[in-house]
Amino acid sequence: MFVCLGVAGLLAGCMPGTTAADSDNSAGKGPVATDPATMGKVTLNVVDAFSGGVDNAWMASVVKAFEKKYPNITIKRTPMAWGDAMAALPLKLKSANPPDIVPANNGWQSMGTLVRGGLLLNLDNYAHAYGWKKSFPQSILNQHMFSTDGKQMGTGSLFGTPVARASLIEVYYNRSLLKKIGAKVPTTYAEFQADLAKAKSAGITPVALGNSNQGGITEPLFSLMNAFGPQSKITEFTYSQGDVKIADTGFPKAVSTLKQWSDRGYLTTGYAGVDSADAAQSFANGKGLFHFDYSGSLPLKPGQSKDFGSFILPRADGGKPVATGSSAANFSISSKSKHADAAAAFLDFMAGEQAAELAVENGTMPLLHPDVKAPAGDPLLSDDVAITRSISANGTSVPYLDWTTPTLLNTINTTMQSLLAGKSTEKAVVTAADQDVSAFAKTLGK
């Protein structure tokens, strides 16, 4: 069979898979089958976090396409809300009859913990059989790798695979409001800052943001970090490679800049009491020039796409824009699965070209396949497809900073909320993040 995946950055071409690796499954090596048609009648139990909207539609279409191609294999889905799935995985995987495939989230919050508990299958044998370590871009491979002792992220063996859908933090903009202030899509950081001031002067909310549920801070914060910090340092810090401190990543400058935006009235009035979902809806209703969020996350009605566009926040030094991004989901196989070969075949299919085409058909950003084109008449999706192509060509993606420890996201959100309320300092935010990372490193024996 063939697997079509990426070559550089986030996307690229095709190559044939092989039929065997060279040792046993539990150790990540051993002969494996890669032709689903020869595997007999199999039912795969799959837990996913695609419980609604375009996510559910995409997953359902992928399952339908796989079962049509391989009618001997049945996919039995258990869709769950994201938070519920993450909370349930440890118990599900420890049960006597665990699901075959689970959406173990990248980083220490989920995948790292499950690897340390021996609950996920080492996929090195399948990586060899399908050619994943050659065809997946290294930036994507690193996001799914841990040392077999579970102490090091971003290196070692493969414990998960991506799907052919991207999830990037981007800046959405309102086309008519940008025109109203006499501006074009900013291509420099200075232009972006100028647009914020122009919007404020025109009585337009510069950045639609809500944070009553601590759900709206990290998107602009991580984007600002990417605008200021070296790409290599952000990656090395997240994966705990070398002696990189959070001060080296652009994080302190990002913290101070977001505080400045708040002080200057660039954020939604009363944003501390506004839910992040409500802020996104307000932006979709035309109340705000910019909005930082994940790709494909705007609550748009049919036909609204023409009113909005997207871009990656430009770098302050004029370099190529850097995006925090990954696959929209990643899947792992239970270490107890009795159908690992069939499960790996489904993982391979979810990363394939047909899955990327189904992503676009469902109106969401593809991954791993640069030749997939957006349909005519959907300018926002066209922007998203162009972004993934650019990020791929330039190799300018970084992992999510909060993957660094199981608790860093909560630490950042809590301390930033205190800072923006005027109850803390920028230094306190950085210090708390440093302490969180240091404390976790000690639990790993580092």
Question: Could you report the per-residue pLDDT of 51-76, keeping only the tens digit for each?
Answer: 988 899 999 999 999 999 999 999 99
Give dist(CA 350, CA 346) in Å, integer: 6
Bridging pattern class, strands 157-158 and 145-146: antiparallel
Is residue 66 within 8 Å of 342, Cβ to Cβ?
no
- Which structure tokens are listed for 435? 């302490």
**pTM, two decimal places:** 0.85
Give dist(CA 366, CA 373) in Å, integer: 9
pLDDT tier for residue 17 given thresholds of 50, 70 and 90: very low
- Which structure tokens are listed for 115? 């690897």
DSSP 161: E
Is residue 193 within 8 Å of 206, Cβ to Cβ?
no
Q: Does 9 score more than 70 pLDDT?
A: no
pLDDT, residue 20, reads 31
> How far, in Å, are 4, 97, 328, 384, 385 from residue 12 at the CA level?
8, 37, 17, 16, 13
Q: Does 190 score more than 90 pLDDT?
A: yes
- Displacement of CA 16 from its chain's centroid (Å): 27
User: What is the chain's Cα-based Rg?
Assistant: 22
Q: Which of 332, 349, 329, 342 is nearest to 44 (CA)?
A: 342
Q: Does 225 score more than 90 pLDDT?
A: yes
> How far, in Å, are 34, 229, 274, 282, 302 from residue 278 at the CA level?
46, 30, 7, 6, 19
pLDDT, residue 28, reads 55
Question: For all residues of the chain together, what is the average pLDDT?
Answer: 90
Enumerate the β-bridge partners of residue 16. 2
Q: Does 11 score more than 60 pLDDT?
A: no
Q: Which of 356, 333, 360 is nearest to 345 (CA)?
A: 333
Residues 32-38, mean pLDDT to the nearest whole number: 95
Lowest mean pLDDT among 81-90, 246-255, 388-397: 388-397
Give dist(CA 414, CA 397) in Å, integer: 26
Q: Which burial class, exposed, middle or buried, applies to 100 when counting CB atoms under 10 A from its CB (0-12, 13-18, 19+)?
A: buried
> How far, in Å, are 22, 40, 97, 369 from residue 43 at the CA level?
26, 10, 13, 29
pLDDT tier for residue 13 given thresholds of 50, 70 and 90: very low
pLDDT, residue 392, reads 80
Q: Does 202 score more than 50 pLDDT?
A: yes
Q: What percent of the chain has pLDDT over 90?
A: 76
Q: Does 35 score more than 60 pLDDT?
A: yes
Give dist(CA 61, CA 48) in Å, integer: 14
Unique residue bearing structure tokens 């491979």: 141
Give dist(CA 380, CA 300) in Å, integer: 11
Is residue 277 within 8 Å of 146, Cβ to Cβ?
no
pLDDT, residue 30, reads 67
Unique residue bearing structure tokens 């391989």: 70
Tens digits of per-residue pLDDT, 365-391? Answer: 998 888 898 888 899 999 999 998 888
pLDDT, residue 21, reads 32
Tens digits of per-residue pLDDT, 288-337? Answer: 999 999 998 899 988 899 999 999 999 999 999 999 999 998 999 999 99
Lowest mean pLDDT among 17-31, 86-100, 107-121: 17-31
Q: How many CB atoms are closer than 10 A to CB 105? A: 24
pLDDT, residue 187, reads 97
- Which structure tokens are listed for 244? 């990189």
Is residue 242 within 8 Å of 236, Cβ to Cβ?
yes
Give dist(CA 421, CA 279) in Å, integer: 18
Bridging pattern class, strands 323-327 and 397-398: parallel
pLDDT, residue 303, reads 86
Q: What percent of the chain has pLDDT over 70?
A: 93
* SS3 call for 93: helix
